[in-house]
Structure formats: C-alpha cells, structure tokens
Amino acid sequence: MAIKYQYNKTSLTEIGKQLKIRTRALPTLKNKESALRAEVKHAKERAEELSGEYRKALASYDYMASLWNEFEPDLITVDGVELQVVKVAGVKTPALKQVNYSVKPFDVFAKPMWYTEGVEILKNLAQIGIESQILLEKARILDYQRKKTTQKVNLYEKVQIPGYHEAILKIKRYMEDAENISKASQKIVKSRHAAEEEEERV
C-alpha cells in the first residue's frame, strides 16, 4: 500500500498524525492478538476436555446398553438452547446459558426403575455435547478475529509505520532543499542588486 502525500507542511502534519495514531495503537493491537490467541487455545482445550468427558460418560453407561432398548427415544427432547454473549478482548462470543428440555410424563411405577436415571443421563450427555459445540464455535470466531488482528499488526508494523517514517523524511528533506534553494536565490538576487547599485554609483 503506497502512502500518498504531498511535499508541503499540511501533508507533513497529516502524516505525522497518522504515524502517531498507528504507533499508539500497535501495542494495544499486539496485546489483543496475544489475548485472542490464548483464548482460542483455552476454548479448544475446554472443548477437547468436554469431548473426553462425553466419551467417558458414554463408556460408563455401557453396562446399561441392553436396557436402552426399553427406553422410549422421544421421552426427552431438547427444546432449545439459551445463549449469552460474552465479550473476549472486545470480541462478542457465544456462551451456554442453559439447555431447555421437554420430558414426557411417565408413570414411575409402571416404567422400569432406571427411567428417571436414564432421563438425567441423556440430559447430561446433551449438555456436554452442546457445550462442546458452542466452545468450538467460540474458538472459530476468536481465531478469525485473531487472524484479522495479526494482519493489522503486520500492516502497521511492517508497512504503514515504516512508510510514514520514510514519507516524513522525504517531505522534510524536500522542504529543507526548497528552503536552501530559496535562500541561495535570495542571496544571488541581493548580490545582483548590490552589484547593479555599485555600477550606478560609478
């Protein structure tokens, strides 16, 4: 990206302002990038933990495998998932508030004794699975924002800040040269006038 400027004081002032803005913003952007990177790692690790918990929970219910044939599959359903928005390093991310379930009424005396436990098991498995998916989505959002922040850091650090420094240097040199030429030409004009006045006197 080429920095557009003119060789005058107005352009020099404007470029100076832009340089100051970017120089001040750079540490904040770097901190944001670090925070986002850490949060992405944390969200992915937590999602992995939950996946592990889910697998362990499933394995721990293996002893009930034959009993699940008696269970009514539509006895419990997930009605909806309530989310809340949590800001992480200025980025809006989803967080699980609660999972809403519907449980069909059943006669605890007519149905097998483990039905109540079966409902709680399914609620727990659904909760873990849903939370894991939300964490993966959170990690995806944060990683996308982290990449954008990294691009901005690189743009400021490697392109714009050096570019503005160079532009300021060029404008200052040009203005100094123009001033020197102006002074030199004034001296020439003065010495000519002095020479002309001298000739007139003679």
159-202: per-residue pLDDT in tens?
999 999 999 999 999 988 888 888 878 888 787 777 677 776 65
164 contacts: CB under 8 Å, gap ≥ 6 = 3, 15, 18, 19, 22
Residue 23, pLDDT score: 96
Residue 27: alpha-carbon gap to chain centroid: 14
Q: What is the mean pLDDT of residues 46-56?
A: 93
Q: How far apart are CA 81 and CA 129, in angstroms?
A: 12
- Of 1, 129, 134, 154, the closest CA to residue 53 belongs to 129
For residue 129, pLDDT over 80 is answered with yes
Whether the CA torsion 15, 20, 23, 25 is positive or negative: it is: negative
Beta partners for residue 98, in sequence order: 82
Overall fold of domain 13-193: Helix Hairpins (1.10.287)
Structure letter (DSSP) for residue 72: -
Q: How far apart are CA 125 and CA 188, in angstroms?
A: 92
Residue 84, pLDDT score: 96
Check if the beta carbon of residue 104 is closer than 8 Å to that of residue 92.
Answer: no
Beta partners for residue 82, in sequence order: 98
Condensed to tens digits (0 to 9), the pLDDT of residues 136-163 reads 999 999 999 999 999 999 999 999 999 9
Residue 202, pLDDT score: 59
Helix and strand numbers (H, E) in the chain are 3, 2
pTM (predicted TM-score)? 0.77
Q: How far apart are CA 121 and CA 67, in angstroms?
A: 13
Q: How confident is the model at residue 17 (pLDDT cuts 50, 70, 90)?
A: very high
191 three-state secondary structure: helix
Task: Tell me what the pLDDT averaged over the chain comes to.
Answer: 89
Q: How confident is the model at residue 119 (pLDDT cuts 50, 70, 90)?
A: confident
What count of other Cβ atoms lies within 10 Å of the Cβ of residue 91? 19
Check if the beta carbon of residue 90 is closer than 8 Å to that of residue 33.
Answer: no
Residue 30, pLDDT score: 96
